[in-house]
Structure 1
Amino acid sequence: MSWLLSSISVLVLGAFPLLGAQAMPPAEDDDTGSSRQVVSELDPRTKVLDVSTLGSLDRLIDALVDDRVVFVGESHDRYEDHLNQLEIIRGLVERGNQVAVGMEFFQQPFQTQLDAYIAGTLDEEAFLRETEYFERWRFDYRLYRPILRYAREHGIPLIALNVPREITQKVGDGGIDSLSSAERRQIPDEIDRDDADYRAHVEQVFEMHPKDEDASFEHFLEVQLLWDEGMAERAAQWLEANPGKQLVVLAGVGHVQYGRGIPARLQRRVDAPMSIVMNGHQRPLDPEIADYLLYPQPVELPKTGLMGVMLDTETAGAGVAIQGFAQKSGAREAGVETGDRIIEIGDIPIESYADIRIALMDSRPGERLPIQVVRDRLVGGAKQLSFDVTLQ
């Protein structure tokens, strides 16, 4: 058993007994002659945790073997959540299940690239560029890399679940009615708006979001519905095309908790056994929130080295231009200036923001990296310059 497995407790929420109303005896006088308060019944909302239900990740995986779909919710920036996702996938594969992994963080138009990566015809760097990962998701790729590499090594299909960002952005601005007929063909025909609890939850999220004064809750709700219905529909399509196989869905906890997001909408399309697994830290001990809660120890990724620059990712041209610097900047200390265009970091040519993220992905603070820039000059034209930058 790995160190990760030994650091996890699993709580089976379905085993929570509720302490119901119970009759209490009448008040009695104590030795001082005062009366104790009369309590007619206990609060029926009181929950009692039976500690015998705490188990290991191995036992959890045994319980998941016969599910057609396993939802493993995540907080996107918690590395321990992704390591546990990997252990669940690995455990199901080792028990002989034919598994595919559905991913919120890849959008449906990029399914061809996921297939090519698993087939070995697209290397990791090309995969990240061609799926536009850093532009469309932006969370540190290292959080997901162990899962993706394991899938590639074992030939496990990856399923791009999410609807295109272009669609959800347009809906966020103008609602579903603003979509063209061609765009409507890219979204589900059936969208269930009748869940009052779902609407109330989305409204709470909307109120917490920074937004413009003219922001529309109805448009925000339609975006959430498109995400959940779109991912559910894509998952249903895969399940129907692959009878006898199991799908592990990796998505943010907001899309799976209480079953209101993807799970209910998938269950509406496919009648099959499903389970929801989530990290239980800082979440209520509510038997409705999930089927299983995990309690892992926090795990941090090593910090990535930073050049301390602000980048212009919109302006076209050779390399990526520098707009400014952080208060503490190794690039500025090395002699780099605002307006310089980065064309190489180490031995990686730089043409886009993704190239910079890839070049720095496994760097560390304190490491010195050579960079090449092009500097435009008033006299003599552009000049290529080299600097050794100490990463922060």
Structure 2
Amino acid sequence: MPIGLCLICALLFSACATTPRSHPTSHPTSHPTRDGTVDVYQLVRLGPLAPGDGRTFSLERDEILWTRDGTRLDRAQLAAKMRAYDVVLVGEIHASRAHQAWQARIIETLATTKDRPLAVGLEMLPRQVQPVLDKRQSFPDERSFVLKIGWYRHWGHDYRYYRPIFRAAAAHTLPLLALNGPRKLNRALARHGLDKLSPRLRALLPPMQLRSADHRRVFIKMINRSASRAGAQLRAQRHHHGTQHEKPHRGHGRDRRKSPVHSTTGHPHRMTHRHASSWLDRYFAAQVLWDATMADSALRYLSRAPRSRLVLLAGAGHVVYGVGIRRQLLARRPQLKVLTVMPVRVPPTKPNARGIKAARLISAGVADVLIGVAPPRPSDRYPSLGVKLEEQILETKRAGSTSVLKVVGLPGKETAARRAGVRVGDVIHAIDGNPVKTVFDLRWALVDKVCGSALTLRLERGGEKRTLTLTLK
């Protein structure tokens, strides 16, 4: 997928909007703003809503909120709500333990109801691996399955975050559905636009509903948000390296990078017409294609298994406000009942001086169900060696051609590898006695490790064999 789209998806949930779909006429009183402790979402007015109609709720950690009427649910009540829907669309921040844990929990909950056959759709995998997913039960172990689906080639995020999802599906022998399409199609659309696609690529397009002022407005907001964050990161890097006084590039203003559609007015239509409308049209079409492809994959499955219920797992940008996958599903099958669920990061719930807990004030339009989760902590991340590796082919007299892992970089000053004495140029041969010849071998050697785990590295340096012991962090 285009790099720009990846960035947009990664940051899409950091700025928000009021609901683009209608809600019941009753408007419950919103919880008050919690002094200065509230992380208030930016609101974008969508559709026909008048300025006063945008409802917000205060969401605390471990709360489950039904945004249709502001009801707080327990897990049993959430399960009862979900049973009324054909498709449960669950958003995520990629590689976030709390988000993937809730996705796995929802799969478990719906699998145990047994009222309808259940299948799980995954944004993470392209349709081309569907034959492998269909034969999952025939694989001798988890490692061979993950290797065969090309997890790190297609997705890249650490498999360990998504392991609970695959285990929940396997425990109930649920079908897995690859939702994504070919990357080359998204890239071509983003670069050239619909009119300039080749006939061969146009034949791959699913039915798409491109016209949506709400979706376009949210999309523009997210591009500007991502550009603003990228500029902040750039300034921080310059400050860190002592180059913050360098002259900015021409056209970037005061040392900040703007997206091609940036506007200080905040008016999306002015952004479109005054700046790069062609660029925006192409990238918006690519984003819609992404949503439409996943919706198409889901509808194809439901055509084959009409009694089934689907749980679709996708990034927040495809779920929030119902303008992504949900809109594409309902455009083609209006009678389909689609529920959107979004875990939302909420600051720690420590009462302030007035005894009021920290919370997040959030638009009711983000999703039908909002779940308050804790922000990630350092202990939540999975450990790594802290090395940059390259697979190389060596020619030896005894074994002929063989693959080895060579250390080509040591990013960071306090990594486990650096502290243990690993050096650039080392060739890693084994971890805890298990041979490693590829990056996947090394990743899988760490799959059951946690921060603080000790392991042994067998490596070669300048023709000399060495053994190092390190503690993961």
Shift of 1:175: 4.2
> SS in structure 1 opposite 2:88?
strand
Aligned-partner Cα distance in 2 for 1:277–1:151: 19
Aligned-partner Cα distance in 2 for 1:176–1:319: 44
For residues 160 and 180 of structure 1, do their structure 2 counterparts lie closer, same or farther at Cα, with a shift above 3 Å needed? same
Alignment-derived partner of residue 222 in structure 1: 285
Shift of 1:291: 1.6
Partner residue of 1:197 out of 214, 237, 243: 214
Is 1:341 aligned to residue 427 of structure 2?
yes
Alignment-derived partner of residue 139 in structure 2: 121
Aligned-partner Cα distance in 1 for 2:445–2:316: 31
Paired amino acid for 2:94: H
> SS in structure 2 opposite 1:90?
helix
For residues 199 and 14 of structure 1, do their structure 2 counterparts lie closer, same or farther at Cα, with a shift above 3 Å needed? closer
Shift of 1:333: 4.5
- 8 Å contact from structure 1 (residues 135, 354) kept in 2: no
Q: Which moved more, 1:271-280 or 1:238-247?
A: 271-280
Is 1:367 aligned to residue 453 of structure 2?
yes
Aligned-partner Cα distance in 1 for 2:195–2:434: 44
Aligned-partner Cα distance in 1 for 2:426–2:191: 35
Partner residue of 2:53 out of 37, 45, 48: 45
- 8 Å contact from structure 1 (residues 372, 387) kept in 2: yes
- 8 Å contact from structure 1 (residues 16, 48) kept in 2: no
For residues 14 and 229 of structure 1, do their structure 2 counterparts lie closer, same or farther at Cα, with a shift above 3 Å needed? same
Aligned-partner Cα distance in 1 for 2:298–2:467: 49
Structure with max Cα Rg: 1
- 8 Å contact from structure 2 (residues 431, 458) kept in 1: yes
Q: Which moved more, 1:214-223 or 1:67-76?
A: 214-223
Paired amino acid for 1:195: S
For residues 106 and 319 of structure 1, do their structure 2 counterparts lie closer, same or farther at Cα, with a shift above 3 Å needed? same
- 8 Å contact from structure 1 (residues 233, 269) kept in 2: no
- 8 Å contact from structure 1 (residues 161, 231) kept in 2: yes
Alignment-derived partner of residue 365 in structure 2: 288
For residues 57 and 346 of structure 1, do their structure 2 counterparts lie closer, same or farther at Cα, with a shift above 3 Å needed? same
Q: Which moved more, 1:63-72 or 1:79-88?
A: 79-88
- Structure 1, unaligned stretches of length 5 or more? 1-12, 21-42
Q: How many residues matched?
A: 351
For residues 386 and 218 of structure 1, do their structure 2 counterparts lie closer, same or farther at Cα, with a shift above 3 Å needed? farther
Aligned-partner Cα distance in 1 for 2:448–2:332: 42
Shift of 1:84: 2.0
Alignment-derived partner of residue 275 in structure 1: 339
Shift of 1:154: 1.2
1:56-205 correspondence to structure 2 within 5 Å = 56-96=74-114, 97-117=116-136, 119-121=137-139, 123-176=141-194, 180-188=198-206, 190-205=207-222
Aligned-partner Cα distance in 1 for 2:441–2:200: 32
Paired amino acid for 1:278: M
> SS in structure 2 opposite 1:389?
strand
- 8 Å contact from structure 2 (residues 95, 162) kept in 1: no
Is 1:254 aligned to residue 335 of structure 2?
no
For residues 44 and 206 of structure 1, do their structure 2 counterparts lie closer, same or farther at Cα, with a shift above 3 Å needed? closer
Alignment-derived partner of residue 32 in structure 1: none
For residues 138 and 233 of structure 1, do their structure 2 counterparts lie closer, same or farther at Cα, with a shift above 3 Å needed? same
For residues 112 and 305 of structure 1, do their structure 2 counterparts lie closer, same or farther at Cα, with a shift above 3 Å needed? same
Q: Which moved more, 1:317-326 or 1:168-177?
A: 168-177
For residues 368 and 242 of structure 1, do their structure 2 counterparts lie closer, same or farther at Cα, with a shift above 3 Å needed? same
Percentage of matched positions with identical amino acids: 30
Aligned-partner Cα distance in 1 for 2:363–2:164: 31
Is 1:323 aligned to residue 408 of structure 2?
yes
For residues 319 and 295 of structure 1, do their structure 2 counterparts lie closer, same or farther at Cα, with a shift above 3 Å needed? same
Aligned-partner Cα distance in 1 for 2:52–2:172: 49
- Structure 2, unaligned stretches of length 5 or more? 1-21, 30-50, 58-66, 231-256, 261-275, 347-359, 395-402
Aligned-partner Cα distance in 2 for 1:334–1:48: 51
- 8 Å contact from structure 2 (residues 139, 145) kept in 1: no
TM-score (norm: length of structure 1): 0.78
For residues 343 and 206 of structure 1, do their structure 2 counterparts lie closer, same or farther at Cα, with a shift above 3 Å needed? farther
Paired amino acid for 1:352: T
For residues 88 and 336 of structure 1, do their structure 2 counterparts lie closer, same or farther at Cα, with a shift above 3 Å needed? closer
Shift of 1:205: 2.4
> SS in structure 2 opposite 1:63?
helix
Task: Output the aligned Cα RMSD.
Answer: 3.3
